Amino acid sequence: MRKQDNSSQSRLCNLGYNAKEFHFIALSVNQINKNMKDTQILIIGAGTAGIMVASQLLKKHSKAKITILDPAEFHYYQPAWTLVGAGTYDFEKTKRPMASLIPKGVTWIQDFATEIRAKEKQVATQNSGTINYDYMVVAPGLIMDTSLIEGLSESLGKGVVCSNYTDPKHTWEVIKNFKGGNAIFTQPTTPIKCGGAPQKIAYLAADYFKKHGISNQSNVVFATPGGVVFGVKEIKQSLEKVILNYGIHFKPHYAPIKIDGENRIITFKQVNAGDNQCVINENNVLKEKLSGDSVIEMPFDMLHIAPPQTAPKFIKESDLVNEAGWLDVDIHSMQHKKYPNIFGLGDVAALPTAKTGAAIRKQVPIVVDNLIQLIDKQQLGSKSYNGYSSCPLVTGYGKMILAEFDYDSNFTPDPKLKQMLIFDSSKEHWRLWMLKKYILPYLYWEKMMKGENV
């Protein structure tokens, strides 16, 4: 008696399918089974972008198996560091254990990424071996590279050389102990996160000096490689008035190239100066020594600097970057230009807009929607990022301007501000200060970090 054949092929043949048709059906079944498996999504970085993407993905895609790779023990709300540096916010309130923010259901690998092998869909780590993925979201932020300015590594964080980007508590000590002379605030030629931060602390320091009666003995200098104080017309006009009211020396086209912390001298090189004219106080306390090739030496009694910033080494050494060394993604879809299963956002992405948490707030839903559509339908969604970013420009204690803009530098204020009785956020307002100090931190911790759109 012939033994009964219960194989899938036999059953299909009994139903009238030939071998060729069986081969097609078998492939389809295998594809279905493959699709039913959990999709492996790797997120590099547990900063604002990484946590938000993971939180929103969990809510919208039950089949996604999400892994976050990040070595940090703590997560910081860095937008408040400007206020910490001015003595009006508690540093400890900007800090929470990373473990408390990793969404439930997400695997956290507390380790460093060392290499991305995009063709193999793998990421090498320092201690945890190789991680495989189906899709990847790259959001590691950026790093401070003090080696790009001569003398900065040796000077930063010592004496009167400070930075809110690295130690805002030290900045506050320097401001409190300042007794007069040259207080210089500057930034590098590289892109930086929160591009308005170097001037915000300048305004707060100028206000502090004014309140403590040392303005007449002080020269506050804001020196920037850029040609304007801000690229949005409405904001620029308001900030020029702020600069005038404080008597700040605005130095456009000044790129810092060397710091001598011991002798308290900073050297700038003028870049793209054009018709720029230097402004020097009549009392001549601010002295600039001009040498050849438009190199300027300036003494200081306080120096606040934003360090040069770049993508992390494992990003720069990958084939994911553009010529400038930033993650090469489409500026509207956030999808990588070479590898369609990779998306990138946040500070590491090559986007022609400001690197801020507010920008990330608008980028995350675009990435999440496009990623889900790609997983489920093998095509991108219809949502598109327009370059929105926001910079809360604190202009003094109890005063702020809110710059909101898009890729084209259009001023795009949020209509919800009218609910706070703020009808022109390009002008200084005390209610905007309240937004910065109290409302935004709450929204960050209790809404954004929990995957809610705000």
Q: Which residues are catalytic?
A: 194, 391
Residue 43: beta bridge partners?
A: 68, 137
Dihedral of alpha carbons 164, 170, 173, 174, sign: negative
Token pair 């809510």: residue: 59
d(CA 138, CA 69) in angstroms, rounded, equals 10
Tell me whether strands 289-291 and 295-299 are parallel, antiparallel or unpaired: antiparallel
E strand residue ranges, 48-160 = 64-69, 74-76, 95-97, 107-109, 113-117, 122-125, 130-132, 135-138, 143-144
In Å, the largest CA–CA distance within the chain is: 114
Amino acid in the structure at residue 283: N
- Cβ-Cβ contacts under 8 Å for 374 (sequence gap 6 or more): 135, 335, 340, 341, 380
E strand residue ranges, 225-326 = 249-252, 254-260, 265-270, 289-291, 295-299, 302-305, 309-310
Token pair 């540096």: residue: 85
d(CA 22, CA 12) in angstroms, rounded, equals 7
Cα separation values, 355 from 126, 188, 219, Å: 27, 15, 29
Copy the structure tokens of residue 335. 């999808």
DSSP labels, 190-247: S--BSTTHHHHHHHHHHHHHHHTT-GGGEEEEEEESSSSS-SSHHHHHHHHHHHHHHT
Q: Name the nearest CA neighbour of 66 among 394, 427, 375.
A: 375
State the alpha helices, DSSP H only, in 277-348: 313-316
Count of positions (residues) in the chain: 454
Copy the structure tokens of residue 368. 């999440």
Dihedral of alpha carbons 191, 195, 197, 198, sign: positive
Would residue 130 be called left, alpha or beta, if left means φ above 0 and alpha means ψ between -120 and 50 degrees? Answer: beta
